[in-house]
Amino acid sequence: MAQAKKIDYPALQRELDETLAMLEDPKTDIDAALVAYERGLKLVTQLEAYLKDAQNKVHEIKASFGDQA
Amino acid sequence: MSADIEVSVSEFVALLNQTLDFAYPSVVIVGELANFKIWRDRLVFFDLKDDEATVNCFAFITQLPGPLEDGMLLKVRGQPQYHQTRGFSFNVQRLQPAGEGSIRRAANLLQAKLAAEGLFDDSRKRLLPYPPQSIGLVTSKQSAAYADFVKILAARWSGLDIHLIDVQVQGEAAPGQIVQAIEQFNAAAQTPDVLVVIRGGGSPEDLAAFSTEQVTRAVAASRVPTLVAIGHEIDLSLAELAADQRASTPSNAAELLVPDRTQVRAALQRAAEQLERAGQQVLQTARTAAEEQRVSLNQAIQDVLISHQERLQSSAKLLQALSPTAILQRGYAIVHQGQTALRSVKQLQRGVIVNVQLADGSFTAQPEE
């Protein structure tokens, strides 16, 4: 959870959008595209982890209020 | 044979009075009131008469039980005396109406007088504390009225602090004792919540004390709220008229004074049940609303998460589609010369080795021509 708090989700989301836009641009050269692609995968992993943490946190909060749903 | 006694007029009067004192220290005369006169608001002169004789009487105004008028039958206790200048008179010690008609007439006159003063006005009536915590009781401890009153109080309510001042409720001493008891309760450091004056039934003469001016005024003047019950339902004394509240009988006084605990308990029980039902309903409504809100809340957070997950999945899929290595799978190659990826053959230099990357590996090549 502590790690999840450090992540600025909207900022990472914006960066992923920019990365995708860069990859879609035909003028982007192959090396830059490779770097961007790698960064994009990393961002997706981070964002997935963040969302997974968020989902877990929702479960924890619900459980602490006696809601098993 | 004894010689005649020769005395002066004054000596004769003194001798006569000595004889009268000895012979009639106190005598009660019953007769009709006539020639009733009040002199300088202090002294009262009147005659008592019957068909054949008349007696001059003298009294102080404070001895009157209330307003009187000629024709009333009076019972007068007093002492005969021969006054040095005014002649014979009957000096009144106590005076009261006699016979039902006169008693009623005297009571009516007194009632009219006190009513004119406003003693019986409804505007003077105060509410009795309900139920009171302490009761000042004025009655005879030996009476059935006392026993009934206390018994009914105990049956209906508990925790009452009852202070009794035992008084005579009929006879000559009664009015004075009743007034004194009322004043004593009013002068107490801790006055009772209510003052109750009761007496059981009796003849009009028996009840007369409670229609005297002094008792009526004492009841009216009481700082402590008063409840008075004298005799039966049909008897109405002036003290009852002056009281804040009247009860028809001593038992009725007890009923008016405190609620019946069984009725109160039943009413409380009903109120408690009603309260609980209302409370349950409020709780149930709140519970339902909270449950609905909980569901909405859960749905809302799930929607947020799902929306982000969908967006992320879409981005990941796009990223995969845009992967540069995916192109190699289709048979393309990437040619690097040093650190630079070549986009044109014009960039090739003869003899300089390039690195050619395919999907499953890479090799070097040296362009010749």
pLDDT tens for chain A, 69 residues long, are 444 457 899 999 999 999 999 988 888 888 888 899 899 999 999 999 999 999 998 888 888 887 655
Domain B9-98 matching CATH 2.60.40.10: the answer reads no
* ipTM of this complex: 0.82
For residue A37, which residues of chain B lie inside 8 Å, CB to CB? Answer: 319, 322-325
Using the Cβ of B339 and the Cβ atoms of chain A, whether some distance falls under 8 Å is answered with: yes
Contact A16 B341 (CB under 8 A): no
Residues 6+ apart with CB under 8 A from A55: B305
Comma-separated ranges of CATH 2.40.50.140 domains in chain B: 9-98
Using the Cβ of B309 and the Cβ atoms of chain A, whether some distance falls under 8 Å is answered with: yes
Comma-separated ranges of CATH 3.40.50.2300 domains in chain B: 130-262
Alpha-carbon distance B309 to nearest alpha carbon in chain A (angstroms): 7
In the predicted model, residues of chain B with pLDDT beneath 50 are none
What is the Cα–Cα distance from B233 to B201, expressed in whole angstroms? Answer: 9
For residue A19, which residues of chain B lie inside 8 Å, CB to CB? Answer: 319
Using the Cβ of B344 and the Cβ atoms of chain A, whether some distance falls under 8 Å is answered with: no
Residues 6+ apart with CB under 8 A from B20: B79, B80, B81, B82
What is the Cα–Cα distance from A44 to A21, expressed in whole angstroms? Answer: 15
Cβ–Cβ under 8 Å, residues B129 and B104: no
Alpha-carbon distance B337 to nearest alpha carbon in chain A (angstroms): 12
> How does pLDDT run across B115-155, given as a tens digit for each residue?
999 999 999 999 999 889 999 999 999 999 999 999 999 99
| B296, B306, B319: best to mutate for the A interface, most A CBs within 10 A | B319
Give the pLDDT of residue A2: 44
Q: Within 13 Å of residue B288, how many CA atoms lie on the same side as its CB?
A: 5
For residue A44, which residues of chain B lie inside 8 Å, CB to CB? Answer: 312, 315-316, 319
Alpha-carbon distance A40 to nearest alpha carbon in chain B (angstroms): 7
By the 10 Å C-beta count (0-12 exposed, 13-18 middle, 19+ buried), B165 is classed as: middle
What is the Cα–Cα distance from B278 to B281, expressed in whole angstroms? Answer: 5
DSSP letter assigned to residue B117: T
**Residue B8 token pair:** 């002066």
**Residue A34 token pair:** 């490779």
- For chain B, where are the alpha helices, taking DSSP H only? 9-23, 100-116, 144-156, 174-187, 213-221, 238-242, 250-257, 261-321, 324-329
Give the pLDDT of residue B2: 62
CATH number of B130-262: 3.40.50.2300
Give the pLDDT of residue A4: 44
Cβ–Cβ under 8 Å, residues B180 and B239: no
Q: Which of A31, A47, A54 shows the shortest C-beta gap to B305?
A: A54
What is the Cα–Cα distance from B226 to B87, expressed in whole angstroms? Answer: 48
